[in-house]
Structures are given as structure tokens and as C-alpha cells.
Amino acid sequence: MNRAGRGRAFCFLALLACAALLGGCWDYTDIDRRGIVLGMGIEPGDQEGTLAVSVDIANPQALSGPGPLSGSSSGGNSLLLTQQAPSVLEALQLLQARVDRRLDLPFVQIILVQEEIARNGLDDVIDFTLRNATLRSNACLMLTPDSPSELLAFTPTLGPGPSLWYLLVSQNSRATATFPRCTTLTRLHSDSTEIGVSLVPRVAWGSQGRPLVRGAGVLSGFNLVGWLDATETEGALWWNGQMPASTATVPCEGGGRVVLALRQARRRITFAPDDAAQFQATLRLGVRAAVREVSRQCSTPSGRPLARSEQVIAAVQRVVFERAWMALEAARRLRTDFLDLGLTLRRHHPQRFRELSGGRVHAPEVLDMPVFIEVDVTITEYGELD
């Protein structure tokens, strides 16, 4: 082989060696040596100044076949471990020393925080999650008046482990108005710092011994100030223009009932002119409704279709009005403007806003102004809303 051929052969071998090196993984950990954390729970520890941090770890043996993971307290699909420590990071480090797998956080779906911690302030929890790129972009924060560790120990009858169950239920916010949309920690931090108020899903034990995602926790900044029930939460979504879908069951002429699917068509908040004798706000809601069920007893005046019945329209107006009014009453009770009255007033009437609030965006004084709610309903007897 001449010199040129030896040079080409050397270059070819060098390229093969580089390809072999580039194809390897320097920091690879086999899946069977990883503990995939799907959910976290944070609640007060037994000693003052400590936290009890629970992790819901996926059990690959149960997900791929029979045989629960030894020591599992959450059923066959996952293993629940709890550790007490002064901080979340230290608790996770101590938990790592208790298992023979590397705890991986990129797949965390939910973070359940107990009410007492949320009322004292979520600053430390939010700060910890925001410093982790995967937690801040993937995890969803939920609040509970109960114990997060007990809620994470719940075993769903079918399907995934508890953390995935809560996540899948939270995604139903696209089709129901009983709880707010579950957002990432990044979005929650943005809302809390820029707007000042945010709503997060509430999780609690139901009457049948099963957890329910229902209602909302009201955060002012990073502090929990109170709870909304399902009806108040729906009213807040009407106010904020975030209503996904709802239902109403109303009486009709003849003693029967009509079941309707509701969807928000428009929403607008206006204020009286600055020179008005009494400054007031008006919420105008446009509602589209589609008939889904009609009782046999229902009757309508001769020649008039059900969709144009004044009784049904008035009943739907009353239902939406009552839910929106309950949200307003809840905001006044909690002295927290999660209805964004202050932001809207500042945008359109800055001078009046300064007079009422002293320049504070979410001043509770804004809620004390007279408020009127108007509801315009359009009913479709046949067909879909979308």
C-alpha cells in the first residue's frame, strides 16, 4: 500500500473512532435504575419549621405486568414515599438515600400543597420549582385542605397511578366549569406577579371516599386567601371570559324541564361615565345555549318553537346571573379582586381608578362599587354550539 492509501485508511479509521465515541451516552442511566416521580405532595411536618414532602414514584413492574413494587403504599401502580425536612430540596435528597433508583423529576405532573402552607405563603415552593426547568414547565399546582400524602395514596379503580389520575381529571376543565384550568408553575408565577391574583384547582375528599377536583383556591400574590365552591368558580370563569362549557336545567311551560348546554359568546365590562352621579360597573354576558333534553310535559304557545320561549330564556338568564353574582359576592367576602374589575377600570378610567384604589391594582375598594349584570341568551333548539 502506497503512502496515499495508508493516509486514506488512517483517516477512515479515525472517523470510525469518532463516530463510535459520539454515538455513546456519557451520563446515561438505565430505565430500571430510575425512579420516575409523577407527583409531589407538600404539607407541614410533625416538627415546627419542617415540611413533609411526599413523592409518587411510578412502578414500572406494575405498569408492565403483575407484581406490585415491594413496600408500595399507593397500590400496584406506584410507590409513595414521605420525608420530613426543613426544605423541599433537602427532603428529596434524604428520599434519594432511601431508594436504590435515581429520583427523576422531569415527569412530575402535579404538585399538591396543603392549605396551611399555602396560607402562610407559597414563595419558597414557587421559588424551588422555578429553579428547576422541568418542574416549572410541566408541573401543575393544586391546593387541598386535606393531607396531600393521603390524596396521593388514593388508588384509581382503572387506569394510571394517582398523579396521572389528577392530571387527566384536571384536563377536563376544557369541558366543565366546576374548577379552573390547571396551568404550569411558570404561568402561575407570571399571573401572580403581573396580575396579582390567580385561581388554582382545589382537591379534596368527596362524600364517597374518593378525591374530587372541584372548586378553586384563590391566590393573592403567593398566598391562599380562601376557597371558591364549584358554583362560585363557574361564576368567576363567566366574569373572566374563560368559560369552557356549562349546563343549565330550567323549567318550561307545562311543568316539565329543559336541559341546555351553555357556552360563552362574549363578555364585556363597562363603567358609567366619569361625570355620572353614581359610578358603577356593568358586566354584559352573551350566552349561547343548545337544547339537549326536553321533558314530555313541556308545551309552548301555539306556533312558537321552544327555542323562542320567554320562560326558558328568562330561566337561563337567571341561572347565569346567579352564578356570576355569587362570584362577585365571593370576591367581596374574600376582599380579593379575582374578577379583574380593577385592571379593567384602570385601563378605561385611570382617574377614577386612582380615586377608588389609591393606585393599587387589586384594591378591594374597587369591589364596593355598584355592579350590574346583564345576560343575553340565544337558544338553538337543534344543533351544536361549536
Domain ranges of the chain: 32-228, 234-380
- Amino acid letter at 262? L
User: What average pLDDT does this structure show over 222-238?
Assistant: 96
Q: Examine the pLDDT at 79 and tell me if it is beyond 80.
A: yes
Model confidence at 95: pLDDT above 80 = yes
CA separation (Å) from 77 to 41, 59, 102, 135, 191? 17, 5, 18, 22, 34
How many other C-beta atoms lie within 10 A of the C-beta of residue 70? 8
For residue 331, the Cα-to-chain-centroid distance in whole angstroms is 19
Give which of 119, 125, 308 is closest to 220, Cα–Cα. Answer: 119
Q: Among 170, 365, 375, 207, which Cα is nearest to 286's?
A: 375
Range in 5-9, 72-76, 109-113, 238-242 the model is least confident about: 72-76
Mean of pLDDT values over 27-54: 82
Angle at 374 between CA 177 and CA 354, to 5 degrees: 90
Give residues with Cβ within 8 angstroms of 260, minimum separation 6. 247, 248, 249, 250, 289, 290, 291, 292, 312, 316, 379
For 233, phi and psi rounded to 5 degrees? -65, -45
CA-to-CA separations, 167 to 58, 88, 182, 303, in angstroms, rounded: 14, 21, 9, 49
Residues 350, 342: contact at Cβ < 8 Å? Answer: no
Read off the pLDDT of residues 135-192 as tens digits, 9 standing for 90 and up.
888 899 999 999 999 999 988 877 678 888 898 888 888 888 899 998 889 988 888 8
Could you tell me which residues come within 8 angstroms of residue 54 by beta carbon, excluding any fewer than 6 positions away? 40, 41, 42, 43, 80, 81, 82, 83, 148, 149, 152
Is the distance from CB of 248 to CB of 339 less than 8 angstroms?
Answer: no
pLDDT value at residue 275: 58
Write down the pLDDT at residue 201: 96
How would you classify residue 226: left for phi > 0, otherwise alpha for psi between -120 and 50, otherwise beta? Answer: left
Sign of the Cα pseudo-torsion (193, 137, 226, 374, in order): positive
Q: State the virtual CA torsion across 294, 235, 140, 195 in degrees, nearest 10.
A: 150
Q: What is the pLDDT of residue 363?
A: 76
Residue 277, Cβ density class (10 Å: 0-12 exposed, 13-18 middle, ≥19 buried) = exposed
What does the block give as the cell for 315?
A: 330561566
As to burial, measured by CB atoms within 10 angstroms (0-12 exposed, 13-18 middle, 19+ buried), residue 137 is middle
d(CA 182, CA 201): 6
- Grid coordinates given for 221: 400574590
Residue 148 near residue 117, CB atoms below 8 Å: no
C-alpha cell at 257: 324541564
Phi, psi of 258, deg, nearest 5: -125, 130
Give the pLDDT confidence of 296-340 residue by residue, as tens digits. Answer: 777 655 545 666 678 889 999 999 999 999 999 999 999 999 998
Question: Is 58:127 a contact under the CB 8 Å cutoff?
Answer: no
* Backbone phi and psi for residue 104, each to the nearest 5 degrees, phi listed first: -110, 130
Q: What is the mean pLDDT of residues 79-84?
A: 92
Q: Could you confirm whether domain 234-380 is CATH 3.40.50.1970? A: no
